[in-house]
Amino acid sequence: MHIRILGSAAGGGFPQWNCGCRNCCGLRAGSLQATARSQTQLAFSPDGRVWFLLGASPDLRTQLLATPQLAPASGEATGSPVGGVFLTSADVDSVMGLLHMREFQSFFVFATPAIQRVVKSENRIFDVLLRADPPVQWQTLSPGARLACRFGEDPSAPPSFICAPTALGGEYPDFISAELRRTLPSQESVVAMRFEQSGKSFAFAPALPENSLEWLQSAAASDIAFLDGTFWSDDELIQTGRGHKTAREMGHLPLSGRDGLLAQFPKDSPCRKILIHINNTNPILDENSDEHRLVRDAGFAIASDGMEFTL
Ligand SMILES: [Zn+2]
């Protein structure tokens, strides 16, 4: 499997257009030892030919253009190596990029029934995806079940890869109407995913709500885990004047603290741990900060745009 990080920041990117925090100002001024990042987006290929997107970020068009492997083959009037998109939530940052893919292109979208309802019934603008012939096809992801993904017509052929989604609980986005929210099951709001092929696997969870410890155990058995690195501390947005909610209230386990991700991830795991979905306020973005060093000393790498992995 080939994996490429197309974007590694949380919603808003780094720097964020309307943010005057220490990190964003320092990056603009060139006084901070840090690298700009676009909004979180992963792509992976089971065979080096067909690619799948994990999430559909608001920066997706730019990210696709910056990635030669995702360009159509020359000489083909239409077509794309992108075969599908896996959605981990209905957050704006996870689904908005679908609108960048509206150019009469057919592909698969894999999502829980609830995420499909939010995108399809709450947001008519996504109907543009139906203009393709054949239209974009939605496939159901059931948390707890393993989805075998095959190419070609033969249902008895061995799967190319397996996707194992896990329900993490977590909240639905706040743009959803109260009426729809009442009917949506909590286990379909935010999922983590594990992708497996030939004994190798990687895990992806850009949002880890507080009760994700069981999933962390299973992620630790993967070869690579891309994990929620949104916030360093629980009160980070309050301290930086960027919001009134704690990290946990926003569905993100902070990195620091006795109950944080660094302390809770299984210590003896050989898994490569990559922090992704990093908010622009997070001090780990400053490469000269204590927090940056603490993360590296704990054995975690910090994702940046363009990183590649092969399993
Ligand atoms: Zn900022």
Up-side HSE of residue 134: CA atoms within 13 Å toward CB?
Answer: 5
Distance from Cα 118 to the centre of ligand 1, integer Å: 29
Instruction: pLDDT band for 74, please (50, 70, 90 cuts).
Output: confident
- Of 78 and 87, more confident: 87
pLDDT mean over 177-190: 94
Distance from Cα 248 to the centre of ligand 1, integer Å: 19
Distance from Cα 92 to the centre of ligand 1, integer Å: 19
Q: Pick the range with the lowest mean pLDDT from 118-122, 138-142, 278-282.
A: 118-122
Distance from Cα 48 to the centre of ligand 1, integer Å: 36
Distance from Cα 241 to the centre of ligand 1, integer Å: 10
Helix (H) or strand (E) holding 309, with range, is strand 308-310
99 DSSP assignment: G
Q: Is the pLDDT confidence value at 77 over 80?
A: no
Distance from Cα 23 to the centre of ligand 1, integer Å: 6
Distance from Cα 240 to the centre of ligand 1, integer Å: 9
Distance from Cα 236 to the centre of ligand 1, integer Å: 11
Distance from Cα 188 to the centre of ligand 1, integer Å: 31
| CA-to-CA separations, 120 to 93, 147, 167, 289, in angstroms, rounded | 16, 22, 21, 43
Distance from Cα 176 to the centre of ligand 1, integer Å: 26
For residues 89, 92, 94, 99, the Cα torsion angle rounded to the nearest 10 degrees is: 130
Q: Which of 203, 158, 160, 162 is nearest to 309 (CA)?
A: 203
* Three-class DSSP category at 25: helix
**pLDDT score recorded for residue 5:** 98
Helix (H) or strand (E) holding 227, with range, is strand 224-228
Instruction: pLDDT band for 239, please (50, 70, 90 cuts).
Output: very high
| CA-to-CA separations, 151 to 86, 101, 134, 159, in angstroms, rounded | 16, 21, 17, 8
Distance from Cα 95 to the centre of ligand 1, integer Å: 22
**pLDDT score recorded for residue 157:** 86
Name the percent of the chain lying above pLDDT 70: 99
Distance from Cα 86 to the centre of ligand 1, integer Å: 28
Distance from Cα 280 to the centre of ligand 1, integer Å: 5
**pLDDT score recorded for residue 75:** 79
- Of 255 and 73, more confident: 255
**pLDDT score recorded for residue 123:** 85
Q: Each residue of 259-294: pLDDT tens digit?
A: 999 999 999 899 999 999 999 999 999 999 999 999
**pLDDT score recorded for residue 211:** 84
pLDDT mean over 7-34: 97
Q: Is the pLDDT confidence value at 187 over 80?
A: yes
Instruction: pLDDT band for 59, please (50, 70, 90 cuts).
Output: very high
The pTM of this model reads 0.96
Distance from Cα 237 to the centre of ligand 1, integer Å: 10
Instruction: pLDDT band for 79, please (50, 70, 90 cuts).
Output: confident
Q: Is the pLDDT confidence value at 54 over 90?
A: yes
* Three-class DSSP category at 268: coil
Distance from Cα 233 to the centre of ligand 1, integer Å: 15
Instruction: pLDDT band for 153, please (50, 70, 90 cuts).
Output: confident
Instruction: pLDDT band for 251, please (50, 70, 90 cuts).
Output: very high
**pLDDT score recorded for residue 73:** 86
Distance from Cα 230 to the centre of ligand 1, integer Å: 12
Distance from Cα 27 to the centre of ligand 1, integer Å: 9
Phi, psi of 160 (to 5 degrees): -70, -40
**pLDDT score recorded for residue 247:** 95
